[in-house]
Structure 1
Amino acid sequence: MNKLDEKSSSPPGSGFDSRLGSESPNLGDRLRTLWSHTGLRQEDFATRLGITTVTLQNYFKNIRLPNSDFIKQTCTEFSVTPEWLLWGNGPMLRGNAQVAPADAQAKCPIPPGEPQWMAPDAAPSMGYALVPKVMARLAAGTGSLETEGKVIGYYAFKLDFLQRKGHPKNMVLMDVAGDSMEPMLLDGDTVLIDESQREIIAGAIFAVGIEQEVFVKSLLRVPGKLVLQSRNERYAPIEVDMNGDLAGTVRIIGRVVWSCREYVR
């Protein structure tokens, strides 16, 4: 691998880079923004994408344009949305999640004697992974339009626990609104969603988007239809004709792999 000059061998910073959308006018700039966000050395970033550092620098400078395989690899490896990478539209990270400003983050007092904070970079070495919780609420009912998806905080989970459930890098926490999934899920419960698990398993619970609404339901696939089932018998199943007008608006966000409930608020 070719050696780079000292100025380009380390990222400009390991924090979140706000140069998104129209402020990153071309693919090369957005690719550089992503590299900065990862905190990796250029050599390591290029290796994870299966290219040389020379090729990466050519992409940064728009001397060469990457092919579709590279775009797919980048989006998969770093959980990036292709719309942002290609055109600068929408959020950078998958799951419609972006980091909210510090003053918008949920404030949670830390009990005396407990660690005051956990640096994201240090979490893996301590055996933990930090999972983002987003503002979007999954409707256990007729649908929710609360799909803003901004990150309001990070929650520490034991890494080996998450690995037994799925892929920690692709997990996100959301709250449930409504009573259609009672008694399994109650209004106000928090669910852990693995966005990498999108293959429908009969009876499993998934977060599903239909147009601008987001549901948490058990899924069944029958010939020509996707059926969203509630656990509460008072709610009729929602049937989506996969050959109809709504078919193109249906998206499986991910599978619910865990949930929790507060008894005192």
Structure 2
Amino acid sequence: MSYVESDAKGETNQEHPIPSQGIGCFRERLKTAMTSHSLRGFSKLCGLSEATLRSYLSGATYPTLDRLMLISEASKVDPQWLAFGTEVDIPTEVKGMDDYAFVPLYDAQCSAGDGAWNEGCRVLTHISFTRYSLRKQGLTPDHLSAIRIDGDSMEPDLHSGDTVLIDHTRIAIEGEGIYILRLDGHLYAKRLQRNFDGVSIISSNKEYREVVVPRDRLAELEIVGRAVWSAGWL
């Protein structure tokens, strides 16, 4: 397996002992690691050019091991997970990073079924937020988690692949807002609005019709929490 560094000087086809299954999903893990940063911001943080990062994200080239470590250190993710997809325990507190809180990003597609909403889910990585910014919004790190949106039903507000931050303390419908809910064993990001007949489940994309959960079936509507932040690639 050849590893080509896009901005290395005079170096091509460098061999690295990374199995093909790790390389195949590297760009997805890189997207996850960069979730809380813009491309320009992450470029400055890790010291690699934007063009190089775009090349990695497209899968056209892959980083050499020294650059893999730069990305790992900048994103605060385990280099072994970044390279191989190996499950690791990521601490919620990092020494010297007391000003930051680390929120777990779950594999949302594993969230269907009975039991707790995240039972059996896989933690992909952790997203860092300053504790100050969370306090300003009245948010507590222990009550937060993140998932990625799947599908186009909430466009243009949320796009497939966007990451949303969920406040699990806000499970009562407060006016109109975007909530993460579970209905019939599946997770959805939808606008919820109370009305005389029950609760309206509204998609931003007008191609999807509004659904009303009648009052006598509201017990079947499980609100996981309210979406309080989102981020995605432009």
Instruction: Give the TM-score category using the shorter length.
Output: 0.5 to 0.7
CA distance in 2, matches of 1:113, 1:189: 21
The equivalent position to 2:70 in structure 1, one of 105, 111, 119, is 111
**1:262 aligned residue:** 233
Compared with structure 1, are the counterparts of its residues 149 and 112 closer, same or farther at alpha carbon in structure 2 (3 Å cutoff)?
closer
Work out whether 1:157 is the aligned partner of 2:129.
yes
Supply the AA of the counterpart residue of 1:120.
T
Say which structure, 1 or 2, has more relative contact order (CA 8 Å, 6+ apart).
2
TM-score by length of 1: 0.50
The equivalent position to 2:102 in structure 1, one of 105, 109, 130, is 130
**1:234 aligned residue:** 207
Contact 1:131–1:172 at 8 Å: present in 2 too? yes
Contact 1:138–1:214 at 8 Å: present in 2 too? no
CA RMSD of aligned residues (A): 3.0
SS of the equivalent of 2:133 reads helix
CA distance in 2, matches of 1:126, 1:212: 37
CA distance in 1, matches of 2:107, 2:227: 17
Supply the AA of the counterpart residue of 1:248.
A
CA distance in 2, matches of 1:258, 1:197: 13
SS of the equivalent of 1:177 reads coil
Work out whether 1:223 is the aligned partner of 2:202.
no
Q: Offset at 1:249?
A: 2.2
CA distance in 2, matches of 1:138, 1:237: 25
How many percent identity over aligned positions?
Answer: 26
**Runs of 5+ consecutive residues of structure 2 not aligned to the other structure:** 1-28, 34-67, 78-90
Using the TM superposition, name which of 123-132 and 174-183 deviates more.
Answer: 123-132
Q: Offset at 1:137?
A: 4.1
**1:250 aligned residue:** 221
Supply the AA of the counterpart residue of 1:136.
A
Paired residues for 1:162-173 under 5 Å:
162-165=134-137, 166-173=139-146
Paired residues for 1:78-227 under 5 Å:
109-111=68-70, 114=73, 117=76, 120-122=92-94, 126-137=98-109, 148-165=120-137, 166-227=139-200
Supply the AA of the counterpart residue of 1:135.
D
Contact 2:92–2:103 at 8 Å: present in 1 too? no
Contact 1:138–1:216 at 8 Å: present in 2 too? no
Contact 1:123–1:129 at 8 Å: present in 2 too? no
CA distance in 1, matches of 2:142, 2:75: 24
TM-score by length of 2: 0.56
Supply the AA of the counterpart residue of 1:232.
N
Paired residues for 1:45-64 under 5 Å:
none
